[in-house]
């Protein structure tokens, strides 16, 4: 079984993300792609926050898809920290629990371009922890002209939030996060896709070792690059942190079916066939960790 921890999907609009670009996949297109490559279910992350996209949608759009295809799609809600009156103390538990009661299993993808320690972000994390809802987020390197929660080189602000919220599951994503799998990442490379052998001393192994509530979302080119750039290291990394990693794709449109959708899956299956991944590790990362964290 494969549970995809990270997809974007839309059943209502055919508005592309940019002029002349592709539209977000419909549920039916996702099901066709999933059946073709052997992925069982996908976690839908609502396009609520405007920094990441032109098309925006409501949490209700996602719940509608989940109701129509309950065996294929798992809903998250997305809660903008600036919701309602842009306050640092709004009762977001009220909103989070509303969507949790409707079947949402987590919050994300958090793409608001705010600093990790912005009081509004802290407020959201306080309430997510209180409501026992995992938070999946994108890390950014700068303020403006991008999306995602902003940190400095070395991820110090993220670590402070992890320390302040020991009962919140942090589902970490994006190239500015996964570049830290290697100890030789620099201020010039941490926002990209560094290649070559992994050097010991990376921040990701450090964070995963220190904090059991930190999880790696292996989706997109960033997650795949992190484990595949140095395959022997990647398989050993997956074995070491087998309880804190989740398979994902971050597929949004049809162009992802021939690469992003299958890259990590193929890498895992090749590792299993070659004896570089045990069946236990394979099963945990492919679906069991997602089932446990999302209480499926």
- Find the CATH number of the domain harbouring 113: 3.20.20.140
Q: How far apart are CA 211 and CA 105, in angstroms?
A: 21
Q: How far apart are CA 203 and CA 187, in angstroms?
A: 14
Query: What are the DSSP calls for 87-147, one per residue?
Result: -SS--HHHHHHHHHHTT---EEEE----BTT-HHHHHHHHHHHHTT--EEEEEESSSSSS-
Q: Do you find a cis peptide bond into 109, omega within 30 degrees of 0? A: yes
**Strand pairing class (135-140; 107-110):** parallel
Identify the CA nearest to 110 among candidates 66, 157, 46.
46
Average of per-residue pLDDT values in the chain? 96
Q: How many domains does the chain have?
A: 1
**pLDDT band for position 187 (50/70/90)?**
very high
Q: 77: which DSSP letter?
A: B
Range 55-70 average pLDDT:
96
Tell me the residue range of the domain where 241 lies. 3-293
Q: Does residue 221 register a pLDDT over 90?
A: yes
Give burial (CB, 10 Å; 0-12/13-18/19+) of 20.
Answer: exposed
Q: Check if the beta carbon of residue 188 is closer than 8 Å to that of residue 153.
A: no
Share of the chain above pLDDT 70, in %: 100
- The first and second tokens of residue 250, run together, are 């971050």
Q: How far apart are CA 43 and CA 222, in angstroms?
A: 18
Higher pLDDT, 137 or 254: 137
**pLDDT band for position 53 (50/70/90)?**
confident
Q: Looking at the chain, which runs of residues are DSSP E strands?
A: 3-7, 41-44, 73-75, 107-110, 135-140, 149-150, 170-173, 214-217, 245-246
User: Angle, to 10 degrees, between the axis of helix 231-240 and the axis of helix 220-228?
Assistant: 100
Identify the CA nearest to 143 among candidates 51, 250, 47, 50.
51
State the pTM of this model: 0.97
**pLDDT band for position 159 (50/70/90)?**
very high
Dihedral sign of CA atoms 116, 118, 119, 123 in order:
negative
Helix (H, G, I), strand (E, B) or coil at 285: helix
Quote the longest CA-to-CA distance of the chain: 55
Higher pLDDT, 52 or 233: 233
């Amino acid at each position: 079984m494969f549970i995809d921890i990270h997809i974007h999907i839309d059943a209502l609009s055919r508005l592309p993300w940019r002029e002349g670009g592709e539209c977000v996949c419909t549920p039916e297109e996702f099901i066709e792609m999933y059946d073709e490559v052997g992925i069982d279910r996908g976690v839908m992350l609502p396009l609520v926050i405007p920094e990441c996209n032109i098309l925006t949608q409501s949490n209700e759009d996602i719940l509608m898809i989940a109701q129509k295809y309950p065996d294929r799609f798992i809903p998250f809600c997305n809660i903008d920290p600036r919701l309602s009156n842009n306050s640092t103390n709004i009762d977001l538990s009220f909103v989070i629990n509303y969507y949790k009661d409707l079947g949402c299993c987590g919050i994300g993808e958090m793409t608001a371009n705010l600093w990790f320690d912005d009081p509004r972000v802290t407020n959201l994390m306080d309430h997510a922890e209180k409501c026992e809802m995992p938070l999946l987020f994108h890390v950014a390197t700068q303020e403006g002209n991008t999306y995602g929660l902003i940190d400095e080189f070395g991820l110090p602000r993220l670590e402070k939030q992890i320390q302040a919220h020991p009962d919140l599951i942090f589902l970490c994503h994006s190239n500015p996060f996964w570049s830290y799998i290697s100890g030789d990442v620099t201020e010039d490379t941490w926002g990209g896709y560094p290649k070559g052998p992994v050097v010991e001393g990376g921040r990701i192994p450090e964070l995963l070792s220190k904090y059991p509530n930190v999880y790696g979302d292996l989706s997109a080119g960033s997650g795949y690059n992190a484990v595949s750039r140095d395959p022997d290291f990647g398989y050993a990394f997956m074995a070491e942190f087998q309880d804190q990693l989740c398979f994902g794709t971050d597929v949004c449109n049809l162009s992802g079916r021939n690469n992003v959708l299958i890259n990590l899956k193929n890498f895992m299956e090749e590792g299993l066939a070659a004896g570089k991944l045990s069946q236990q590790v394979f099963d945990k990362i492919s679906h069991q960790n997602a089932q446990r964290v999302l209480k499926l």
